[in-house]
């Protein structure tokens, strides 16, 4: 599913009006009908409704919804904020229609003085102040109103966007002046800012309402942001020939583990083996040999000459992909072996964990990475890697996109809705996964899966998308059966076969 910016939404709106064709006011009526339906489905008309409408089309929606609710015998009081005497055309029309229908308890057009109504627990507030047309942080009277609504015990439903929240960049927004909705009814498509963890407090529960914007318009419009769906992945799956031999299924090399961190190597190797690859060799320090041999008997050992850390890069001619970094340690010896290994690899490479930390402490090496390299940092690893501190997820994501373009790399920013930044500047968000996966070793599992998929023959972009989707799906399937609270990384590996099955069916 594509994600459109506020500016693109306005273009799509225009396109739909011209090509369907439909009058702008009728499109608003259509949106209001589906918003009203979502509200009446959830709350009965015994609940008093207070509507706050702004001067633009978000306010126009709110006025139309007020009329429709009042016609269905809801007890509706409406406050329209017309401070500058400048209502949008459709807002004006809906103001007129509302006055004419005479069904609302109260209609107050606020021009100057505003005496706020009492908001109580059993009331429903409809927030139609601002939507995708917001162009600066809320201030003054609107900021006070938002604070007043937020501190009340009433249930809040936001139309399209919680008022005060920008559809993309909230880096310099004033968070105290954004509505905290219990439910956001967003029109047609999800907005970029809804995907960021720190904005969940404003959105509450999210529902998307199909208002039938032009399909053709949406297909034609290019978007740099996309949400990954099962249907995007199915056609990309490689099929297994019935005469397949393990030699045809790829050979992955995992370089992982230091003394005390054998577990990271075990998890990455096991996950790699579960990702359809033919063979996996694991290169690890001498002292981890027995642990690996016992925990992952299917893997081939390549034991480093050092007892406790990775010290010598491996010839990669016999391998199809390299995954390096989990539990590798940060000794200077390991760092030098790491960069030598990455540089000499003539195969696709995935770098994670200590591999990223090593790069962060030798940032000049970033310029020496092979094109097409895959890096999978979590937010703090990415801050160290980029040498920056970020105010929010949007700023972090923009920085990751720039780095991916500059280094011609694939960067998966892990977290709530992991984001894959591609060398061409496009960004794909994952739609699977859950909070139970925020546990030690979860990242090692992802590294193993992507390395396995690369060795199996998937190209970088496909391996990253499929890898993050399967990783999250396995976590979701695990959560369904065992819950999130006590989930460990090994559970994700245990549910990988079911995740593959689900995609293949």
Ligand X SMILES: NC(=O)C1=CN([C@@H]2O[C@H](COP(=O)(O)OP(=O)(O)OC[C@H]3O[C@@H](n4cnc5c(N)ncnc54)[C@H](OP(=O)(O)O)[C@@H]3O)[C@@H](O)[C@H]2O)[C@@H](O)CC1
Residues that bind ligand X (CB under 6 A): 9, 12-13, 27-28, 31, 54-61, 88, 130-136, 138, 142, 159-161, 187-188, 211, 213
Nearer to ligand X, 50 or 450 (CB): 50
The least CB distance from residue 128 to K ion, in Å, is: 5
How far is 52 from 106, CA to CA, in rounded Å? 12
- From ligand X, K ion, none, which one binds at residue 13 (CB under 5 to 8 Å depending on kind)? ligand X
Pairing of strands 205-209, 124-128: unpaired
- From K ion, ligand X, none, which one binds at residue 61 (CB under 5 to 8 Å depending on kind)? ligand X
Is 351 a binding residue for K ion by CB under 5 A? The answer is no
- From ligand X, K ion, none, which one binds at residue 473 (CB under 5 to 8 Å depending on kind)? none
The least CB distance from residue 108 to ligand X, in Å, is: 18
How far is 408 from 320, CA to CA, in rounded Å? 20
Is 163 a binding residue for K ion by CB under 5 A? The answer is yes
Question: Is 18 exposed, middle or buried, given 0-12, 13-18 or 19+ CB atoms closer than 10 A?
Answer: exposed
91-106 in b/e form (b: 16+ CB < 10 A) is bbbbbeebeeeebbee
How far is 416 from 468, CA to CA, in rounded Å? 12
Is 398 annotated to bind ligand?
no
Neighbours of 374 (CB within 10 A): 25
Nearer to K ion, 57 or 430 (CB): 57
Pairing of strands 279-285, 205-209: unpaired
How far is 289 from 123, CA to CA, in rounded Å? 65
Nearer to ligand X, 61 or 354 (CB): 61
Which residues from 75-134 bind K ion, rule CB under 5 A? 127, 131
Is 349 a binding residue for K ion by CB under 5 A? The answer is no
Nearer to ligand X, 61 or 320 (CB): 61
Look at residues 261, 379, 280 and name the one whose alpha carbon lies nearest to residue 327: 261
- From ligand X, K ion, none, which one binds at residue 142 (CB under 5 to 8 Å depending on kind)? ligand X
The least CB distance from residue 162 to K ion, in Å, is: 6
Is 362 annotated to bind ligand?
no
Please identify which residue in the block is written with the tokens 């010598």. Answer: 312
Is 177 a binding residue for K ion by CB under 5 A? The answer is no
The least CB distance from residue 362 to K ion, in Å, is: 47
- From K ion, ligand X, none, which one binds at residue 133 (CB under 5 to 8 Å depending on kind)? ligand X
Tokens of 131: 């939507």
Among 64, 159, 419, 466, binds K ion (CB under 5 A): 159
How far is 429 from 441, CA to CA, in rounded Å? 21
Residues 274, 499 contacting (CB under 8 angstroms): no
Nearer to K ion, 56 or 452 (CB): 56
Tokens of 130: 């601002």
Is 414 annotated to bind ligand?
yes
Is 61 annotated to bind ligand?
yes
Nearer to ligand X, 199 or 275 (CB): 199
Please identify which residue in the block is written with the tokens 């001067």. Answer: 55
Residue 180 in 3-state DSSP? Answer: coil
Residue closest to K ion, measured at CB: 163
The least CB distance from residue 264 to K ion, in Å, is: 45
- From ligand X, K ion, none, which one binds at residue 163 (CB under 5 to 8 Å depending on kind)? K ion
Q: Say which residues have a Cβ less than 8 Å from residue 249's Cβ, sequence separation at least 6.
A: 240, 276, 277, 278, 279, 456
Residue 366 is given by DSSP the state G
Is 213 annotated to bind ligand?
no
Per-residue CA distances from 346 to 326, 366, 369 (Å): 20, 17, 12
Residue 281 in 3-state DSSP? Answer: strand
How far is 471 from 95, CA to CA, in rounded Å? 50
- From ligand X, K ion, none, which one binds at residue 158 (CB under 5 to 8 Å depending on kind)? K ion
Among 57, 77, 158, 341, binds K ion (CB under 5 A): 158
For the annotated binding site for AMP, the residues are 414-418, 443
For the annotated binding site for K(+), the residues are 58, 127, 163
For the annotated binding site for (6S)-NADPHX, the residues are 57-61, 131-137, 160, 264, 327, 378, 444
For the annotated binding site, the residues are 57-61, 127, 131-137, 160, 163, 264, 327, 378, 414-418, 443-444
Binding site for K ion (CB under 5 A): 127, 131, 158-159, 163
């Amino acid at each position: 599913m594509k994600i459109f910016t506020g500016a693109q939404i306005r273009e799509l709106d225009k396109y739909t009006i011209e090509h369907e064709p439909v009058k702008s006011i009728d499109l608003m009526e259509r949106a209001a009908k589906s918003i009203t339906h979502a509200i009446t489905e959830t709350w009965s008309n015994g609940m008093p409704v207070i509507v706050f409408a702004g001067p633009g089309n978000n306010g126009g929606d709110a006025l139309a919804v007020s009329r429709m609710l009042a016609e269905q015998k809801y007890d509706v009081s409406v406050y329209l904020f017309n401070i500058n005497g400048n209502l949008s055309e459709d807002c004006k029309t809906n103001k007129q229609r509302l006055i004419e229908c005479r069904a609302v308890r109260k209609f107050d057009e606020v021009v100057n003085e505003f005496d706020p109504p009492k908001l109580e627990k059993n009331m429903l507030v409809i927030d139609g102040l601002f939507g995708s047309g917001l162009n600066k942080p809320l201030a003054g009277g609107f900021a006070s109103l938002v604070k007043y609504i937020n501190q009340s015990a009433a249930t809040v439903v936001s139309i399209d966007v919680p008022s005060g929240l920008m559809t993309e960049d909230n880096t310099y927004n004033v968070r105290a002046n954004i509505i905290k909705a219990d439910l956001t009814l967003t029109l047609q498509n999800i907005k970029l800012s809804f995907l960021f963890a720190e904005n969940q407090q404003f959105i509450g529960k999210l529902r998307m309402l199909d208002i039938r914007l032009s399909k053709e318009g949406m297909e034609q419009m290019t978007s740099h942001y996309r949400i990954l769906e099962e249907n995007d992945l199915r056609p990309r799956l490689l099929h297994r020939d019935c005469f397949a031999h393990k030699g045809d299924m790829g050979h992955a090399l995992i370089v992982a583990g230091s003394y005390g961190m054998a577990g990271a190597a075990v998890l990455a190797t096991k996950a790699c083996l579960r990702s359809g690859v033919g063979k996996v060799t694991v290169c690890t320090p001498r002292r981890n040999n027995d642990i690996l041999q016992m925990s992952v008997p299917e893997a081939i050992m390549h034991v480093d000459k050092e007892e406790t850390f990775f010290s010598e890069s491996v010839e990669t001619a016999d391998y199809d992909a390299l995954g390096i970094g989990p539990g590798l340690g940060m000794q200077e010896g390991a760092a030098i072996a790491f960069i030598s290994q990455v540089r000499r690899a003539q195969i696709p490479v995935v770098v994670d964990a200590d591999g990223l930390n090593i790069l962060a402490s030798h940032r000049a090496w970033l310029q020496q990475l092979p094109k097409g390299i895959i890096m999978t940092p979590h937010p703090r690893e990415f801050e160290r890697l980029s040498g920056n501190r970020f105010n929010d997820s949007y700023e972090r994501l923009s920085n990751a996109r720039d780095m991916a373009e500059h280094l011609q790399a694939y960067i998966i920013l892990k977290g709530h809705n992991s984001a894959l930044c591609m060398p061409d500047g496009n960004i794909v968000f994952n739609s699977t996964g859950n909070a139970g996966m925020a546990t030690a070793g979860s990242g090692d599992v992802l590294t193993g899966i992507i390395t396995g998929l690369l060795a199996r023959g998937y190209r970088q972009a496909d391996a990253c998308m499929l890898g993050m989707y399967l990783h999250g799906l396995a976590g979701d399937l695990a959560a369904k059966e065992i819950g999130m609270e006590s989930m460990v990384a090994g559970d994700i590996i245990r549910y990988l076969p079911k995740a593959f099955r689900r995609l293949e069916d």
